[in-house]
Amino acid sequence: MDKGDSFQKAKEYAFFLLKFRLRSEEELRCRLKKKFPEAVINATLRFLKENNFIDDKIFVKEWIDARLKKPFGIRRIVQELRLKGVADSVIQETLDRIKGDYSETQVVQRLAKEKLEALKDCEPLKAKRKVSAYLLRRGFSAETVYEVLNNLCRQTC
């Protein structure tokens, strides 16, 4: 297989991966490493960036938007993006832009109320523990989770 043929196959594979969802540059690099030499990978990624098929800033914005709708907490989202090889500066830049429109406290309140309602037959302390564990697993800050749960329990328990 010559270099031109490898480059074409690498592009096709990258487009195949991008067909399913946006990916970070590092994610694509890792997937391409399994099949192609470094020179072909670099040329492929350069082609994709120059033609706006990949852009970590767009990827981060879309990822954050999708994960906030689930809803997940900022801590978990940042951790996921770091695992996908996105630079902290790109993550922080995007988070700074969305923080004005996003209230973690409101999201935690809504989720906590829903979960506590579902666990109303459960002992209050046990329900509080279950809800806090659920919210912490979803990546919400411990400070916010405990503050909201303490306020809700003061009102209802």
* Tokens representing residue 100 in the block: 């004005």
* Contact of 104 with 74, CB cutoff 8 Å: yes
Q: Does the pLDDT at position 157 exceed 60? A: no
* Contact of 112 with 102, CB cutoff 8 Å: no
Q: What pLDDT, on a 0 to 100 scale, did the predictor assign at position 74? A: 93
Q: What pLDDT, on a 0 to 100 scale, did the predictor assign at position 1? A: 53
- Please, what sign has the CA dihedral across residues 19, 69, 111, 101? positive
Fold of 3-50: Arc Repressor Mutant, subunit A (1.10.10)
Bigger pLDDT: 47 vs 124: 47
Q: What pLDDT, on a 0 to 100 scale, did the predictor assign at position 108? A: 96
* Contact of 139 with 67, CB cutoff 8 Å: no
CA dist., res. 145 & res. 105, Å (int) = 8
Q: With 0-12 CB in 10 A as exposed, 13-18 as middle and 19+ as buried, what is 23? A: buried
* Contact of 109 with 46, CB cutoff 8 Å: no
For 26-64, the pLDDT digits (tens) are: 999 999 999 999 999 999 999 999 999 999 999 999 999
Q: What pLDDT, on a 0 to 100 scale, did the predictor assign at position 100? A: 78
pTM attached to this predicted model: 0.86
Q: What pLDDT, on a 0 to 100 scale, did the predictor assign at position 156? A: 66
Q: Does the pLDDT at position 130 exceed 80? A: yes
124-144 b/e (C-beta count within 10 Å ≥ 16 → b): eeebbeebbeebbebbbbeeb
For 63-119, the pLDDT digits (tens) are: 999 999 999 999 999 999 999 999 999 999 999 988 778 899 999 999 999 999 999
Domain boundaries, the chain: 3-50, 56-101, 104-156
Q: What pLDDT, on a 0 to 100 scale, did the predictor assign at position 99? A: 79
CA distances from 151 to 70, 116, 123, 139, 148 (A): 24, 13, 17, 20, 5
Q: Does the pLDDT at position 140 exceed 90? A: yes
